[in-house]
Structure 1
Amino acid sequence: MKDFLKRKGKVLFMFLFLAGLQAMGQTSGPKVTETASLPVQSVIKGKVVENGTNQAMEYANISIFSSRDSSLITGGITDVNGEFRIGNLVPGTFYVEANFIGFNKTRINNVRITPNNRQIELGVIELEPATEEIGAVEVVADRARVEYKIDKKIINVAQDINAAGGTAVDVLENTPSIQVDIEGNVTLRGSSSFTVFIDGRPSVLSGSDALQQIPASALETIEIITNPSVKYDPDGNAGIINLVMKKNILSGFNGVVNTMIGTGDKRRIDLTVNHKTKKRNLSFGIDNNHQQFSGENESTRETFLNDNTEYLIMKGDRSFTRKGFGVKGGVDFYLSDKTTLGFMANAGQYNSSSLSNGLTHHYTVPLTLDEYTVNTESSERKNDYVSGNINFLHKYNEDGSHKLEGLFNYRYRNGDDVEFQSEIVADANFQPTDIYDLQIRTTEGEESNDYRMKLDYTRSVGPDGKLEAGWQSRLDRETEDYLFEDFDPETQQWVNNSNFSSRMDFKRDIHSVYSTFSNKMGPVEYMAGLRGEYTDREIQHAMATESYKLDRFDLFPSLHLSYELFDKSQLMTSYSRRINRPGGRDLDPFPSYMNQYSIRIGNPALEPEYTDSFDLSYMKRFGRSFISLEGFYRVTNNLITRLNQLGDDGILYMTSDNLNSDSSLGGELMANLNLTEWLLLNTSVSVYNYKLDGEVLGQSVNRESTNVDGRLNGTIKFSDNSRMQLMGMYRGPSVSAQGDNKGMFFSNISYRQDFMNKKLTATLSLRDAFGSAKHEGSSSGTNFNSTYKFKREPRVFTLTLSYKINNYKMDRSDSSSDTNEMDFEEGGF
């Protein structure tokens, strides 16, 4: 009867979720008392890291027991650096246990405090992920999908089964602070100005292009850093999205292969293998993907010129495809216990294409023009890329608190964006004739070479302080060629149109130095830093008589504060200054033909925009659950504003200028709730006021909106080998300088089943279950109004299979024990 009721409860929850009801609850766990700052004359201290990765483990539990009767004497938790310091201990013999949920416990015996030895340094304590031996296969305990750190949110990708077979974008669809539209375009707190890192290094591709190419199966975690310290590049007003790739820490040969198929011609396969010894670690991977999406679009435009109203009504279907392949490889040489030298390279090709077939009705009132056309627009964007880096790490001490890191990185991209447009004259029923009203072809070629050199130095200062300093140089070289061709029906040849063909050379050098200092003052932890950057930018255009230069020096400060409360809650605040630099396309002053009704013109006088970002957050933990409340304020000056202006020829000209400032003030509530052993809820809601001040084309603009974004993710565990995940996301309406964007809601459902002792996993997913995802809005300006709407194919099914190769560890001598024990001796254990 009990099992029957449990199954009924799971089914009832699933139906309530799909019906749109939200259930929130909270559980209370046992409180853990933390010790305050204690006298230094009787102290036990150390650092806890994850075995194999050496990643510091924050919030690990430290317990000190009497060796005489095993009674608990005192305890505490580790800080953001994995370090702990516990005092007020009387002389005696103790054993110390370090523990964290999902990891095996480590016990250090024979820790003695005497009147002559009151300070005990345990050094680095390693915790291994908890495993249950089933034959030779390891089963790793679940981790929370979202973890909250002092300066970032960490998304554990393995806990998001909705993303199986997808890309980093699919993971981000259900991530706090992130919004994703139906075309896979990502914004961070409403801004598309963010930087994508891969393992802390800039991606070869940028923005959403990079996120759409990285398979979710290759990711360990995703870090959302809204207020980065000055150690990171200040580029991207909204912050940084850092993709942390999987690094198998097992010795010997191991790996994983994933394959996905989906409705509507979608498929992906990727393979990652690893071979590790004590002297080196060799890795290799390949991936190939092809995903096609279909959709419907419609738009209207009204223009008012010379007492005439001109109407342009378009409707049609659109398909777009993203595909690519890549090869990556790397090797780390462990030259000594303290020195590592690594080499990594990847190469591949990223393609995207689209095909639109539409019907256009173009007429004026009073009626002087009334024409019908059948339109075809196709584009293919192909990019070849290569990147490689050399990195080294040298530790001056055992725990790595004193170290030197270096990196040289090279990135190369080369590709063409070819677009074809045609319009055939038709009758009022849209039956085409053999008369072409338009036939054009454009080819935009781009080639770029980017170099990056950096050095980072870190050393501890006192028991809790840390000093970091670094230097970096970034050298960017880019060439863009734009070829515009008309089709000559008489010669049946494409003819160059010099009015729109051009070439631009772009050069930008950025030299940076930074320093940060972090320390503790009782329960307060702080980190302050300052970064200086000198920028030398030059643009040379083939059709211009002069070059356009920018020569400036900028300062970027940052500050992070954390206050640890005794009830396992945490108060954090941070500030950083960010920059958004315009790209080559934004700066190109030559007209770029989009269609016969629209032309884009870059602005070489564009300057960077600057953002001051403030965060204040509070987090309360309940065992493995937590609730966090985060307030943020972001103001951007010198705002790059997109402008649409109607010319006397009836063509809409699109450009950009530094005209305005905007600000966002709001809060985000997030809860990660382990309600029962079979039900996990992760939910967040963000409410913020967006305000835009300035002018557009000489007219004052003061617009604001209250934006609401929310998501709810529920995971139901039917057994150790099967679970279901249900997700819903709502993105509220918002405003821009010349328009409005409407709201959107969509939902996904996924089911995962494990086979063969968890070596094989199958995941079935349904995306946009209710067919509600769409992109819709309007814009207006002097003498024009326009609307647009795009809807992508709904209810996409995907099936993903994942197989682990040699994913096991050697059996321990005592497999029944989940505690690693060792004796303490002065100087180490």
Structure 2
Amino acid sequence: MKRTLILACILLCSMELSAQSQWIQFSFVSKDFPCEEVPKELTISTILAGKDSTIFKQPFSECSKSIEIPKLPGMYSFTVKTQLYQPILLSFEIKENMADTIQLGDLVLKEPVSELDEVTITGIQRKFIEIDADKTTLTVKDNPVLSISSIYDAILKVPGIMPYPGGGFAVGGQMASVYFEGVPSSLSTDDLMNLLKSLPASSVETIEIISNPGASFDANVSGAIININSIGKPTKWLSGTVTLNYGLNQNQKISPSIVLSSRQSKWSWQLQTGYSNNERSNRDTSDRVFSSFNPEIGLNSDRKEQVHSSYFYFKPSATLNFSRRSSLIMNYNGSFGDTKFTGNSMTESPGMVPAIALQTDYTSRNYGMGNEGMLKFRQEFDTLKRVLNVTAFYSNYQNRSKRSNLQRVSEMDDFSILDYYMNINRFYLRADAEIPFEKIKFYMNFGVKYSLMHVDNIGSYNLNNDSSEIFDNRTYSSRIDFDYTEDNLAGYLDLKKKLGKKVTIGTGLRAENFSLSRASNVTSTARNNYFNFFPSFNAIYRMNSLVNVIGTYSRKIGIPGFSQYDPNNSGYYDPFTSSSGNSALKPNFYDNAQFKITFFDYAQLSVNYTHSQFLNLSEVVVQPNSLQTVQTFRTYKNVNSINYFMALPIPFVLFTKGLKFMDEPVEVDKMSFLYIYSSYTKTTIPDYSYVNRNKGMWTLGVYSQFILPWKIRMNVEYYITGKGNYQIYEFVRNRSSFDVSFSREFYEKKLKTSVSFEDIFNTDQSNTRVSFPNIHMNSYSKQDTRIIWFKIAYSFGRIEKNDSEGLNLPNVGGE
């Protein structure tokens, strides 16, 4: 694991740190419309030293309203904005010994206006995190720690998110899916990571962590969801952000990008484009012991690889507003990737007579091109925000890969070529309705969806040829043509009810039918049909302004990825190593439950339990008295996993001022703090034979911020993961990383700069042990993680947020 969740503490400044509450009561009067039909949105902040900062924001439609805020003395501004009326501007003062309720009286709505506005109450403390029963939302915009980094870096600093072994992210010990604006990414793991490292975090408004996705999300969601929402509605003038990241070690990494947006009358548009050029070095060693021989035979491999990848993306989007209540959103996403691999490996068995000495030199080049389009029509039927969304999506992704191997054994050369062409087409059509009943605090969402995916993957091979001419004149001796089709039809209902001011509960039910078909010229055709119901439940109890108690449950299905079925040899190849899919894999039905307590929003204790009826994991197959290994997949039954997580922020001012600091507003970019987190994960797989006792894995991390002279922020991060088992893998050595960064903002925070030093002690590496019938394996993997990063971002223009318009970060991928 490279780095973890972290961040939370910076956000301590946005907490409501006093248990005392001040109630603000007011009501609305309207001549033209019943006031309950006028949508309103409420935000509260105070004024101090000429600065405003929002501390409360909430949409509502009632004619009368009571709002609870921390009772902190000071002047407050109160701004009410609506879709149809002029803003209402007020101010009030909170004093220490005043009554607990302030009456603002009747507020008159008058003189319709032409543009959609919102209700804002402004204050000193900016709330960077919002906790609900079904999700946790972290604000990235104007966040002094996150906004200078890439989206990839920002995600890893969200409390509870860790890197997933093999790529991607993990939440609660399970791999998480990445969504953009509620749409899942269809990019490969490598392309998705390249994109996230290229996109600037300054283009993101919020990151949502949905640990137990409800009925509105696909049943085929693996674990949690990380949903990325971009900066909102463009202004009438041109605005944007230019970003440049440059990383340096023995290799170079550079990623420039630009985000532009604007609007004219009924039209608004946004453009994101960028490029990344990434060089990296990898080293992998493997010690294999073949236990079916007597005495046992060992093979030791050492592989070194140099990777050069370039990635370009072009993502325009536009919104056409037909009226105040209807709009059409159009997104296009284009991307192109080019990755070159150059490597060599040495495989030896010095204990054998005669000894084996295999040298492999290889080159590989992958070209990937993606084109995606989305149309989304949104219609509000009345001022109570009854909404219908209809979305159509199509994507095409093509990948061409050419690999050449030179293998030398006992001074004899063999030549092999492995070429692939993959074509993936995806389509879905969905309709979603939102019906709120504000008077009784009851909310209902329901919808239907049909999706279709078709995959063709053609592998062409010429293995162990005695002529190098096949490299220049690529002729093939065998071919595998894999065809995969998946379609599903689903309907869902989500219900949510607020019980008083402290309790909110939600429940949902999704019915979904999956049809799978897979065939190739080397395997028989297989068809499966799965239909089931998938319930979900969530609840939150807000004990007070400081403590939340949350419980969630969901049932999901995990359909094996098409690559797990594919019989093509798509992994590393030499005379002793190959790979293939498994057409007999079963889908996983799993139940996931979570219980969490949060304090001040950022301190938390949580436990997550998952029972998987089936779980598909990697397996190495070796026949008795053979030295050839085949990397494939296997279905394990009745797998149980439990994850504990703890996080505690400690502001240093606590040691100088004691608890008195809790009565004072604090600005995050002026606060020094320490954030401590720890997690423990244990997975039990009854069908797997562990080499040693199955032990869970601990992770301990510390993230801190120090305010230095000249407004420089220094952030220090350290984590260590102990020995233990993760699924079938036993980590036999600790893994750790130590990072330091320095950042500063200029020109009213428009220019942001940073210098960071990652993995200073070069200890971010993986050492694992795994065992299968007839073979025991010890593996070591190391990438060039010790890097110096220089990052600069400049923002210009102004940005307004309008949640109802929906022009956000172009959707990357689809279902």
Fold shared per TM-score above 0.5? yes
The residue aligned with 1:477 is: 454
Matched, 1:806 2:797: yes
The residue aligned with 1:578 is: 556
**Deviation of residue 111 (structure 1)?**
5.6
Cα-to-partner distance string for 1:175-225 (whole Å, 9 max, x where unaligned): 332222697543333333x32211111223144642431223333332221
Matched, 1:542 2:521: yes
Structure-2 separation of matches of 1:666 and 1:150: 19
RMSD: 3.8
Match of residue 21, structure 2, among 23, 33, 36: 33
Structure-2 separation of matches of 1:520 and 1:485: 65
Structure-1 separation of matches of 2:777 and 2:90: 68
Partner-residue secondary structure (3-state), 2:152: helix
The residue aligned with 1:12 is: none
The residue aligned with 1:746 is: 737
- The one-letter amino acid paired with 2:218 is D
Counterparts in 2 of 1:415 and 1:805: CA distance versus 1, 3 Å? same
The answer (yes or no) to whether the contact 1:689–1:705 under 8 Å persists in 2 is no
Structure-2 separation of matches of 1:78 and 1:404: 24
Structure-2 separation of matches of 1:728 and 1:159: 25
Match of residue 651, structure 1, among 619, 622, 628: 628
The answer (yes or no) to whether the contact 1:662–1:690 under 8 Å persists in 2 is no
Counterparts in 2 of 1:164 and 1:784: CA distance versus 1, 3 Å? farther
The answer (yes or no) to whether the contact 2:40–2:118 under 8 Å persists in 1 is no
Matched, 1:691 2:683: yes
Q: Give runs of aligned pairs for residues 499-518 of structure 1, distance below 5 A.
A: 501-518=479-496
Cα-to-partner distance string for 1:274-302 (whole Å, 9 max, x where unaligned): 11234221111211001112243322111
The answer (yes or no) to whether the contact 2:232–2:799 under 8 Å persists in 1 is no
Q: Give runs of aligned pairs for residues 254-333 of structure 1, distance below 5 A.
A: 254-263=239-248, 264-333=251-320
Q: Give runs of aligned pairs for residues 707-746 of structure 1, distance below 5 A.
A: 707-718=697-708, 721-736=711-726, 738-742=728-732, 743-746=734-737
The answer (yes or no) to whether the contact 1:61–1:98 under 8 Å persists in 2 is yes
Structure-1 separation of matches of 2:59 and 2:539: 12
Matched, 1:667 2:649: no
Match of residue 422, structure 2, among 443, 446, 454: 446
Structure-2 separation of matches of 1:663 and 1:266: 40
The answer (yes or no) to whether the contact 2:44–2:122 under 8 Å persists in 1 is no
Partner-residue secondary structure (3-state), 1:772: coil
Partner-residue secondary structure (3-state), 2:153: helix
**Deviation of residue 97 (structure 1)?**
6.4
Matched, 1:204 2:186: yes
Percent identity at matched positions? 16
The residue aligned with 1:419 is: 403
Matched, 1:587 2:565: yes
Q: Give runs of aligned pairs for residues 349-360 of structure 1, distance below 5 A.
A: 349-360=336-347
Matched, 1:639 2:577: no
Cα-to-partner distance string for 1:428-467 (whole Å, 9 max, x where unaligned): xxxxxxx444321211221011001111111123431011
The residue aligned with 1:795 is: 786
Structure-2 separation of matches of 1:182 and 1:591: 22
- The one-letter amino acid paired with 2:151 is A
Match of residue 391, structure 2, among 404, 407, 412: 407
The residue aligned with 2:587 is: 608
The residue aligned with 1:457 is: 433
Cα-to-partner distance string for 1:321-371 (whole Å, 9 max, x where unaligned): 33200111111112111111111101011233433233332344xx42213
Structure-2 separation of matches of 1:736 and 1:420: 34
Match of residue 396, structure 1, among 370, 381, 394: 381
The answer (yes or no) to whether the contact 1:384–1:414 under 8 Å persists in 2 is yes
Structure-1 separation of matches of 2:722 and 2:126: 31
- The one-letter amino acid paired with 2:520 is H
Structure-1 separation of matches of 2:127 and 2:449: 35
**Deviation of residue 711 (structure 1)?**
2.6
The answer (yes or no) to whether the contact 1:195–1:235 under 8 Å persists in 2 is no
Structure-1 separation of matches of 2:430 and 2:784: 45
Structure-2 separation of matches of 1:251 and 1:700: 62
The residue aligned with 1:171 is: 154
Structure-1 separation of matches of 2:41 and 2:350: 66
Structure-2 separation of matches of 1:254 and 1:164: 16
Deviates more, 1:225-234 or 1:680-689: 680-689
**Deviation of residue 245 (structure 1)?**
2.3
Match of residue 347, structure 1, among 313, 334, 338: 334
The residue aligned with 1:187 is: 170
Counterparts in 2 of 1:488 and 1:604: CA distance versus 1, 3 Å? closer
- The one-letter amino acid paired with 1:32 is Q
- The one-letter amino acid paired with 2:640 is S
Structure-2 separation of matches of 1:320 and 1:751: 29
Structure-1 separation of matches of 2:270 and 2:419: 38
- The one-letter amino acid paired with 1:269 is P
Counterparts in 2 of 1:598 and 1:738: CA distance versus 1, 3 Å? farther
**Deviation of residue 411 (structure 1)?**
1.1
The answer (yes or no) to whether the contact 1:164–1:800 under 8 Å persists in 2 is no
The residue aligned with 1:532 is: 511
Matched, 1:107 2:85: no
Counterparts in 2 of 1:445 and 1:808: CA distance versus 1, 3 Å? closer
List alignment gaps of at least 5 residues for structure 2.
Answer: 1-8, 30-38, 47-54, 69-74, 81-86, 93-102, 108-115, 654-665, 801-815
TM-score with structure 2 setting the length? 0.79
The answer (yes or no) to whether the contact 1:143–1:156 under 8 Å persists in 2 is no
Structure-2 separation of matches of 1:79 and 1:741: 46
By relative contact order (CA 8 Å, sep 6+), the higher-ranking structure is: 2
Matched, 1:773 2:751: no
Counterparts in 2 of 1:83 and 1:627: CA distance versus 1, 3 Å? farther
- The one-letter amino acid paired with 2:334 is A
Partner-residue secondary structure (3-state), 1:639: strand
Counterparts in 2 of 1:55 and 1:259: CA distance versus 1, 3 Å? farther
The residue aligned with 1:784 is: 775
Q: Give runs of aligned pairs for residues 484-495 of structure 1, distance below 5 A.
A: 484-486=461-463, 488-490=465-467, 492-493=469-470
Cα-to-partner distance string for 1:539-596 (whole Å, 9 max, x where unaligned): 121234x421011212111111111223532211111112221112211246667322
The answer (yes or no) to whether the contact 2:45–2:121 under 8 Å persists in 1 is no
Cα-to-partner distance string for 1:235-275 (whole Å, 9 max, x where unaligned): 33311111222335433111111112221211111011111
**Deviation of residue 484 (structure 1)?**
1.3
Deviates more, 1:229-238 or 1:305-314: 305-314
Structure-1 separation of matches of 2:741 and 2:521: 53
TM-score with structure 1 setting the length? 0.78
**Deviation of residue 644 (structure 1)?**
1.7
The answer (yes or no) to whether the contact 1:447–1:479 under 8 Å persists in 2 is yes
Counterparts in 2 of 1:297 and 1:87: CA distance versus 1, 3 Å? closer
Matched, 1:126 2:119: yes
**Deviation of residue 771 (structure 1)?**
1.3
- The one-letter amino acid paired with 2:441 is D
Structure-2 separation of matches of 1:195 and 1:177: 14
Counterparts in 2 of 1:731 and 1:380: CA distance versus 1, 3 Å? farther
